[in-house]
Chain A
């Protein structure tokens, strides 16, 4: 019956074990995070001063595009799928994921997708250069031929995400321990369940968009070409119908992680559990009906513009409820500030700032001045980086002791927190100023009045970037030589089934289901 992992490379290639697959996802996403981060460093190095110093403008565009694609699809999404693989079965008392072979497949096609995408960097015509939003016709009629590799890569990523989501839904709906009703599920499981439905709904839309591109480019159709009766704006509608839910796909599991960490280190149950569930569900629903707020400048009729503005503003309500719930959880708790908690608190602060600028950009008339400027770049890095990366880092520090039975170096981890927190803000806060002063995004070079804040931002980026190398060092050192742990509970205030199994978590857990009261 219970057996350990296979030997050698075969363990990783053929594994159907949720913990192994979770580990694969996490390492893959970290590799992609470093690659995407390297692209970001090229961007910030080029923007350090006005004038072109390091790269040519055409290569600069490839860097911004690849940075976005690799970070969104290669780093952030797989990181949370990795966490889901590791944690969901342990949190609901299941022995493994419901569809273990599909689980293996959904991971192992990913490296091929990204190999395809990255290989275009070395081809004639270069990598995709049309932005991660790949608006037609820049991405169709005017794209380099390598766009076909990009399209194929997106198809594979989409298939991987859909398989992963089906697996998560099947697991959560069918394999919960006896007694664990839906409204007793841990928040991380709830947020992932909702995220998985979002993914299944919108990944096919993305696949549709790239397929239409493929047809326009290679088979003479004109979906996005006005000269043939098509409409370039149609592309944007289809893209953002995928793209807006996508940002919640990224952020909802992050909300889940934070909803575990804050109660643990406050030693107090999560405030407003059921309102958290409803808020998550309503955010997910609203995410489907606000997409065109990314397109306030395309010349929509005024009625459409007003509708999308009002609908977008509504999202502030459930989002604010979440922030209030987290703060109320901390209120009158018994707080300690280990590294996961530091990252979680930083998440709340920075995400709230990103939420404020989110309300600002939702206001259609003032978006005239924000749209496609660095203000937007600042806004979405506050929600995406502070949202997904800070919470992902918090999750790793929080669960790493459970995963490998070893403790990271708390002093160094705190140092890493402060370097990233300060570096992050030096990088992105000045970008608000740049945008308001009139600097458009995706600019390879800029006018002289933008020099100073750009230099500050670049310095911040180098600091923030180096903090990630320190993170890697801390994690590897913890895995290899961290202090050994054996208590099931690493953190005094931690609750949940995952903290009832041995430390490190054995290869197979909950082969007999626990009883949940």
Chain B
């Protein structure tokens, strides 16, 4: 679609806006008062945009026609102007015409729609496979064949959400670690979920696919420009549905390769750390941070949970009882409940730190210290 068409679009939809911003249109204001979908940065998103605009204009044209006749009747055929009602109530020709013409218009719409859909579904010949897993309420990205996997969680602090601190620019659109992709490369996504249904949506890519527990969906992208792109979970997935954004960092190919190498080294280093022994203080500090990141959305920062939905850990029999029982719940989760298996999501160090934290925070005061090596042994002993 041309620039002109875009301007027309804005004019038809919101004449008021064009008044407000006539003269100098600030880029930021334009984004805040955005009227249309982004064109995006992939061939698919561009194709979608074009279909969207074509159909939009067809609808506008039909709408103008229908409403013009209607408003004309409302003006010209009003009783107060002395209009006398005609008595016709049937006209086969007219009825045939207005059945056939819409049918033809629909055929015209269906042709580009079909070819774009075929394109959206063509996941063949991808160079990179990334597995995307939805959890309540975060995403996991796994680079298949590369031994690199990590969680990507919201980092916006509670203080901003609950209005005790000013909101930063990327409020609710910032994550602990973005998905990193190379530019101009066909990437296939294998999308699934571990608990409820989520949906992975990045508008700039024209990609949205449901993440369904027990099933793997496929989709793909080919990004043409490096940059940071933001998206969200689109399927209602419980309490923090609005709080599991997606951030994708698209890099030049060489940058991507060095990022990947660095990432692999990091994974090895974390694994090495699991053999180290930590002091209780170190574990408590790291545990609090990791707990707030991974557990507080359900069990709450104060450990009290949400009555009737998520149990409190403050004074809980498991968090103050046998360590193996505690390890079991956290590492393996509880099937059929919202309690996930964290064994595969968190490093041994984080697990040890969280469990130590839970056993000593909020007056639980068991004095127990769990080391990464204990977690490792527990996992191996299973």
Which A residues are closer than 8 A to B by beta carbons?
A: 50-53, 57-58, 61, 123-126, 129-131, 135, 137-138, 141-142, 144-145, 225-227, 231-233, 266-275, 297-299, 302, 305-306, 309-310, 313-314, 316-317, 320-321, 323-324, 327-337, 345, 348-349, 352-353, 356, 359-360, 363-366, 368-369, 371-373, 432-433, 436-438, 440-449, 451-453, 493
Contacts and interface: CB of A to CB of B under 8 A. Distances in A.
Interface in B103-122: 103, 106, 109-110, 113-114, 116-121
Interface in B63-107: 63, 66-67, 69-70, 73-74, 77-80, 83-91, 94-95, 98-99, 102-103, 106
Given A324-B98, A371-B234, A57 B242 contact: yes
Contact of B70 (A135, A145, A348): A348
Given A345-B74, A438-B231, A272 B89 contact: yes
B214 interface: yes
B278 to A, nearest CB: 34
A252 B212 CA distance: 34
Query: Chain B's interface: helix, strand, loop or mixed, by majority?
Result: mixed
Contacts of B195: 137, 142
Nearest to B100: A317
B86 A268 contact: yes
Nearest to B33: A452
Nearest to A229: B214
Contact of B239 (A57, A328, A331): A57
B73 A335 contact: yes
A366 B239 contact: no
Nearest to A274: B90
A372 B199 contact: yes
A373 B85 contact: no
Contacts of B67: 349, 352
B302 interface: no
B248 interface: no
Given A297-B199, A297-B208, A444 B242 contact: yes
A360 B55 contact: yes
Interface of B: 13-14, 31-38, 45, 47-48, 51-52, 55-56, 59, 62-63, 66-67, 69-70, 73-74, 77-80, 83-91, 94-95, 98-99, 102-103, 106, 109-110, 113-114, 116-121, 136, 160-163, 167, 169-173, 195-197, 199, 201, 203, 206-210, 212-215, 217-218, 230-243, 245, 306-309, 335-338
A141 B196 CA distance: 9
A333 B73 contact: yes
A366 B113 contact: yes
A105 B215 CA distance: 44
A305 B197 contact: no
Given A353-B63, A449-B32, A321 B171 contact: no
A232 B90 contact: no
Nearest to A51: B163
A185 B2 CA distance: 52
Nearest 5 A/B pairs, CB to CB = A226-B214, A125-B308, A124-B308, A299-B217, A356-B59
Contacts of A320: 98, 102
Contacts of A232: 197, 212-215
A299 B192 CA distance: 11
Nearest to A433: B35
A452 B234 contact: no
A368 B206 contact: yes
A335 B51 contact: no
A303 B66 CA distance: 34
